[in-house]
Amino acid sequence: MVAAGAVALGLSGVLCLLHAYLTRPFWYDEIWRAHFVSEPLTSFWSELTVANTPSALGWLGITRLAGEAFGWHSWSLRLPGFVAVPLLGAAIVVLTRRFAGTASAVFAACWLCLNTTFLDLATQLKPYTVEALVTVCIVVIWTADPLGPPDEVPAAGAPRGPDRGRLVRRTVAGVLALVAVPGIFVVLPLAAVDVWRGPARRWRLVECLPALAFSAVHTVGFVAHQSSQRNGDYWDRQFLAGRGPWAALRFVADQVRATVTGSPPGIDRFDPSLIHGTVPTGPLGSAPAALIAIAVAAAGATGVAALARHRQGRALLAALGGAELMMLGASAARYWPFGPTRTNLYVVPLLVVVVVVGVERAIRSLLSAVRGRLPRGGPQQAAGRSKDALPTLALPGSVIARSLSDSSPELVTESDGSCALPGALDSAVADSPPPAPAGPARVPGLAGSRVGLARAAVVLPLAAVVAITGCGVLLLQTSLSGSRPLWEHRDRLRGLDLMVDAAIVTRRVARPGDVVAVGGRLARPGWLYAMEASDDGPREPTDLQPGPAGDGRPRRGAVGGTVASAAAERSVGETSASEASTVGSVGAVPAPSRVAAGGSAVDGGSAVGDHRPAGPAADAQAPATGGVGAPARIARRDTVFFGGAKPALLRQLARRPVPPGHLLVFVFDVERTSLAGQLAPLHRAGWCATQDWNFRLTGVLTRYDRCAPSSPPPRRVIVAYH
């Protein structure tokens, strides 16, 4: 427990150094999860049918609780994943200590929890670290049977029936399975081991029923409801489905090899958005990588053999092997990817424990062999033998034993161990061969070969221990090799990071009666979270400040800023939109006033062409003296989504009972090309683009005003956000 606490404390210190990851904006893989977490309960169930990948009910509940308690900020929603890292390290120490020493347990926790790819996943709004923690806790709880193995024969007179302690522990494991999507992949193999053999199998089944019921209902009723992505092609390379017999065998072999020889095994090394550690090559080329792969595979085989002789070890192997087999079967039906992907991170702690146990058993065996070959003579023999003398074999005749006292060499021990008379000493000496000449002793050929074998029996195990230790050091170096990029990329943009900024600008530009159109199938969940739930401000609040009065240009570096509308350049007396102001949060927002074209003083919430806010949007206005207001969120009924399977944008606009006053169109960056065909007809329908806001790696927000279809397109003003 002391080691577990020390590991948890050390990992907490590492996360404190990476605290910048808590507050940076959500990118695409995070913000869509934030949407499903924050979705109102009235539409929560229907929204889950379009989820990118399934989420566990328990994880959604924990994350939603964090958002409700601390506000819908990026740091609050990422907090459960951060907290899970030190807890996972402590849990790995507890599990490994059942089969290995404390040093090995600490090494296992550091090997996984300090890995660059693992920390990159842990610092994002993703459930993988929580699922890994849940898996280790399930195995620890399930195998904590103080009364003995489940298949033991009850003692005479003992009551026959389910054990209350086991029933409680397995029920707790079933509840924990609700927090992890793959929880059933761990619970079902453990339950199968319990009921496989033994005189009380039916009572063991009764003890496992709550866990089986919880995990089965959760999987069939909640997780399967979110399986829309199985109809896509994103995970096709990790599915067994659609392959012939030989292709299937090759697929399984490749994925098993990639999983076993990964560093650490099983972590996603294919996602380009993640930071990956690399094996240092140098002048040796790919030799270190091959050495690590061989060492991990050999240690894993040794660990399997060692754990198979241990009752709790067999349960751990059953959980690991059963989970892999169930994932393979699910991949044949396109329900779950197989291989070293981030979705399978939950089995990595078990793989690490197996490898570490194998390493320790191998080192112990080698050291035991060395100790067995070392001389164990008494103190007199050790004192009388020269350190440089070679070991010699006893001659088959008599052996002369001399006392440490030179004055009494009287006893001769014969080959049968009897004591000779003193008078026989002279004859024994007379019959003995003459002493050998001075110089190095000559060792017979047979004795020399045995000496060489004895030396090899000591040197080779020690060399193997040194090699294994070197592989462990190289493995840790590989695991930590991406630490510098992880530290330096704290503020890097991955894609769709500025969605909150785009939503804030849209809230300030939009007027009552306007319609917001969001283009791109992938943009929908992120836009809904940024517009309806997020309490975060923009990435850089100063980016939304206006430039110098009247210059109509962004601030220095083309980062942020607000420009006058092109309409102000075309018509005197027509007010311009100035949507930006300093923002610290989505709450109260100061809106500095400025003099627009025509001499009319307008504030940061003013409209284009005398279309002034009213109703809820009027809260965004501030008096010319510099009041405070909050831009209203745009209701979902005033937002249309196009792209993918959605109807065309013009068709959706034509179906609206009231034509929009102005049109604000946001197009997701990666889908701009595919949606260009839907934007081109807008000019023919009487819509002219007047202003663009570019959000790097996120998308473009464009304002469309009414215009004559035959008139040339007006001049467009562009504002860039980085």
Q: How many CA atoms lie within 13 A of 253 on its CB side?
A: 6
Q: Residue 263: which of 284, 294, 285, 239 has the closest Cα?
A: 294
For 378, 405, 422, 424, 672, the CA distances from 409, given in Å and listed in that order, are 20, 8, 9, 12, 105
| Placement of tokens 């923009």 in the chain | 538
Q: For residues 615 and 49, what is the distance between their CA atoms, to the nearest angstrom?
A: 35
In the prediction, which pLDDT does 611 show? Answer: 34
Determine phi and psi for 667, rounding to 5 degrees. -120, 125
**Which secondary-structure segment (H or E) carries 258?**
helix 245-260
Contact 132, 348 (CB under 8 A): yes
Contact 506, 721 (CB under 8 A): no
Residue 248 φ/ψ region, left for φ over 0, alpha for ψ in the -120 to 50 degree band, beta for the rest: alpha
- pLDDT tens digits for range 316-333: 999 999 999 999 999 999
**SS3 state at 264:** coil
Q: For residues 504 and 632, what is the distance between their CA atoms, to the nearest angstrom?
A: 9
Q: Residue 80: which of 96, 63, 94 has the closest Cα?
A: 63
Determine how many CB atoms are found less than 10 A away from the CB of residue 86: 23
Per-residue exposure over 593-608, b if at least 16 CB sit within 10 Å of its own CB, e if not = bbebbeeeebbbbbbb
In the prediction, which pLDDT does 313 show? Answer: 92
Determine how many CB atoms are found less than 10 A away from the CB of residue 230: 18
Contact 556, 562 (CB under 8 A): no
Contact 279, 288 (CB under 8 A): yes
End-to-end CA distance of the chain: 48
**DSSP calls for 387-455:** TTPPP-PPPSS-B----SSTT-----B-TTSPBPPTTHHHHHHHHSPPPPPSSSPPPPHHHHHHHHHHH
Radius of gyration of the chain (CA): 37
For 400, 420, 587, the CA distances from 403, given in Å and listed in that order, are 10, 15, 98
Determine how many CB atoms are found less than 10 A away from the CB of residue 351: 24
In the prediction, which pLDDT does 280 show? Answer: 62
Q: For residues 318 and 192, what is the distance between their CA atoms, to the nearest angstrom?
A: 9
For 8, 115, 259, 262, 263, the CA distances from 293, given in Å and listed in that order, are 29, 17, 10, 7, 9
- What's 345's DSSP letter? G
Measured in whole angstroms, the distance separating CA 563 from the mean position of its chain's CA atoms is 42
- Name beta bridge partners: 720: 694
- What's 124's DSSP letter? S
Residue 241 burial (10 A CB sphere; 0-12, 13-18, 19+): middle
The tokens describing 416, both together, are 């049968």
Domain map (residue ranges) of the chain: 1-146+162-365+461-490, 495-537+632-721
Q: For residues 452 and 602, what is the distance between their CA atoms, to the nearest angstrom?
A: 97
Contact 617, 632 (CB under 8 A): yes
Residue 612 φ/ψ region, left for φ over 0, alpha for ψ in the -120 to 50 degree band, beta for the rest: beta
In the prediction, which pLDDT does 392 show? Answer: 46
- Name beta bridge partners: 688: 705
Q: Residue 120: which of 259, 6, 24 has the closest Cα?
A: 24
Residues of the chain with confidence (pLDDT) below 50: 156-158, 380-430, 546-628
Q: For residues 537 and 504, what is the distance between their CA atoms, to the nearest angstrom?
A: 8
In the prediction, which pLDDT does 458 show? Answer: 60
Q: For residues 210 and 543, what is the distance between their CA atoms, to the nearest angstrom?
A: 55
Which amino acid type is present at position 550? Answer: G
**SS3 state at 205:** helix
Contacts of 197 (CB under 8 A, 6+ apart): 151
- pLDDT tens digits for range 115-126: 888 999 999 999
Q: For residues 237 and 338, what is the distance between their CA atoms, to the nearest angstrom?
A: 9
CATH of domain 495-537+632-721: 3.40.50
User: What is the largest distance, in Å, between two alpha-carbon atoms of the chain?
Assistant: 140
The tokens describing 335, both together, are 């329900």
In the prediction, which pLDDT does 708 show? Answer: 80
Residues in the chain, total? 722
In the prediction, which pLDDT does 281 show? Answer: 62
Q: For residues 465 and 367, what is the distance between their CA atoms, to the nearest angstrom?
A: 8
In the prediction, which pLDDT does 630 show? Answer: 67
Q: Residue 29: which of 125, 114, 141 has the closest Cα?
A: 125
| Placement of tokens 């190095």 in the chain | 440
